[in-house]
Amino acid sequence: MKILYLSNAIIPSRTANSIHIMKMCQAFAENGHEVILVAPHIKDRYEKHINDFYEFYGVKKNFKIKKFWSPNIIGGSYLYLLTILFYLLIKNNFDLVYGRFLYGCYLATLLRNNVIYEEHGSLTDSRKHVLKIFKKLIKNKHFRKLIVISNSLKKIFLKKKYLEDFKIQVAHDGADKVQDFNNKTILLGDQNNLKVGYVGHLYKGRGIEIIIECAKKINDMTFHVVGGNDTDIKYWKNYIKNFKLNNIYFYGFVSPKETIKFRNSFDLVLAPYANKVAVTEVKGKKQLDTSQFMSPIKIFEYMSHKKPIIASDLSVIREVLNKKNSILVEHNNIEMWVNSINKLKDSNLRNKIALNAFNDFKNYTWKKRASLVL
């Protein structure tokens, strides 16, 4: 099958949605499909130093990427959409158009392309014109189905009565199988201590405060934070100076491919989500809270690396994690976090939880997900 993946995500970038898109395109191709990814080229809105997009994300070069100009001005996105229109008119031989770009997917249905649309938000707080386009998309006869990332998100759409049950499919996020568990890096600090790891952004609700509080109370382990932008890291480094902590280390942003080395090097990993979680951090703007319906890629990457996970006990997290494949704790209970980390000093318990998570991971590979949604 020939698949066109329509995206409005900046590639390459540091966002989780760009990782998701690249991994899904790779997975579609691994399942035997011909895949072309279309993404916008916006000046000064991408990682300029990156020449090889595939290498940066750690994906195979088994699909094509086409970047269409999208000027960084008011109305620039409409010019990008117009380019997609002409592309679809000229290359009208796709068996399926797939994507998370609402306007692009709607345009594709108008041009009589079969479309599967994937949505990671509830659309409950969307502007009126966004909901209007969504409702038109799902009523078009060329619309096939809606893919959502959690059962909780499906319930939100069903409650709004936008679609019937059979038109909405749940597909949690995923991760790649780890090819080499010995691909490690040398972490900072005492090499004899257990290493507690976190990989991800430092946005509001991601739990960096929890990690710091645990580091204050646990002196015989080292804590390693991979991710975050320079401003965030500077802020948190200045913050911990007040407590004279010498067991927490910040590594900054590393490419998706390079994060593999860090996860392999940790002894246990944390996913300390708050009960409100932002997907971005833009000052002065209302943030989208995804805590009720998210499906964090981080969780699946931890599972794929066969690491014991301690995570916040949120209902949406329980769609994947449970008391056998992780330790789940109250998101704001520092004492529980500290006790849970200390429990994992027991190597037998660490191995048991990690193995259970790894065995469950077989249901959440990107390749399996790509097969499922088709």
Give the pLDDT mean for 215-220.
96
The closest of 256, 259, 281 to 269, measured between CA atoms, is 259
What's residue 282's pLDDT?
43
Q: Is the predicted pLDDT of residue 111 greater than 80, yes or no?
A: yes
Q: Is the predicted pLDDT of residue 142 greater than 80, yes or no?
A: yes
What's residue 284's pLDDT?
44
The pTM of this model reads: 0.94
What's residue 73's pLDDT?
67
Residue spans in the chain of domains classed CATH 3.40.50.2000: 2-171, 194-361
Q: Is the predicted pLDDT of residue 276 greater than 80, yes or no?
A: no
- 170 vs 72, which has greater pLDDT? 170
Using a pLDDT cut of 70, give the percent of the chain over it: 93
Pick the CATH number of 2-171 from 3.40.50.1980, 3.40.50.2000, 1.25.40.10, 3.40.630.30: 3.40.50.2000
Query: Out of 44-58, 208-222, 338-352, which region has the weakest mean confidence (pLDDT)?
Result: 44-58
Q: Is the predicted pLDDT of residue 17 greater than 80, yes or no?
A: yes
290-345 tens-digit pLDDT: 888 999 999 999 999 999 999 999 999 999 999 999 999 999 999 999 999 999 99
For every residue of 200-224, DSSP letters joined together read S---TTS-HHHHHHHHHH--SEEEE
Pick the CATH number of 194-361 from 2.60.40.3880, 3.40.50.2000, 3.60.20.10, 3.30.1330.20: 3.40.50.2000
Give, as one character, the DSSP assignment of residue 167. Answer: G
Give the C-alpha separation, 311 to 337, whole Å. Answer: 9
The closest of 298, 316, 304 to 362, measured between CA atoms, is 304
